[in-house]
Amino acid sequence: MSETLPALIDRIVMSQPSDWNVIGGRPSYRDEFHQLQSGNRKWLEIRSHYTVAAFMPDVSITLAWGLPVVDDFREPWANTFPNPHASSHFLDVFYNGALVFRALYVNVDGGRASLPLPLKHYGGAVPLRYSAFISLLDRLDRSSQFPSYFERAGLKSVDAEWPFEQGR
C-alpha cells in the first residue's frame, strides 16, 4: 500500500499512544554524525534520537525523536516556565525505513513537556494537526500535561494546512 504524506501524518495524528511500541534509550540507530574542529584537531561527534516507536497496526511507520537541534532554545513563550531551560529537537517520521518527514518541537520547563513551534507562516499560531502531532509525542514520551503547557506558553491553534508543501 502506498501512502501520501498527508495520509501518513493523519494516521499518526489520529493514533493513540497504545498503538505504538515505544523503545527508549540509546542506541536508537537513528544517528547524526557531525565533524567538529578546533585548530588542527578534528573529531567526529555522534548525536542520536533517544527514543523510537513503531506503529503496531502498520510497522512500516516508525517515529524517532530527541535528536537535538538547539540546546539552549530562547523564545519568550518557551522560557516562561518555572525552569526556564528549553531545547529544540527533531521528531522524524520513517516509512519503510526511509525518512519521509521531519518536524521540530521544543522541550520546555526543563524537559517536562514538548510543544510545537509557533509558525511565522501562520502569524505565530500553531496548525491543529501540528499541535496534535506534538501532543501525541508528548503522550508517548511522558505523562502528558500538553494542554496545560500549550495554554501556559500562550500558544494559539489555527485551522490551517500542515504540513505544507516544501518551499512554501
When the pLDDT of each residue in the chain is averaged and rounded to a whole number, the result is 87
Residue 144 — φ and ψ, nearest 5°? -75, 140
62 contacts: CB under 8 Å, gap ≥ 6: 52, 53, 54, 55, 93, 94, 97
pLDDT > 90 in the chain, percent: 65
CA-nearest of 11, 7, 1, 21 to 140 is: 21
Q: Where are the domains of the chain?
A: 5-16+67-158
Is the pLDDT at 168 greater than 60, yes or no? no
d(CA 23, CA 44): 26
Q: What are the pLDDT digits (tens) for 117-152?
A: 998 877 889 999 999 999 999 999 877 899 999 999
Contact yes or no for 8/61 (Cβ under 8 A): yes
* Residue 121, pLDDT score: 77
Q: What is the side-by-side strand order in the sheet with 51-55?
A: 20-24, 51-55, 61-70, 87-95, 98-108, 113-116
Q: What are the pLDDT digits (tens) for 88-127?
A: 999 999 999 999 999 999 999 999 999 999 988 778 899 9
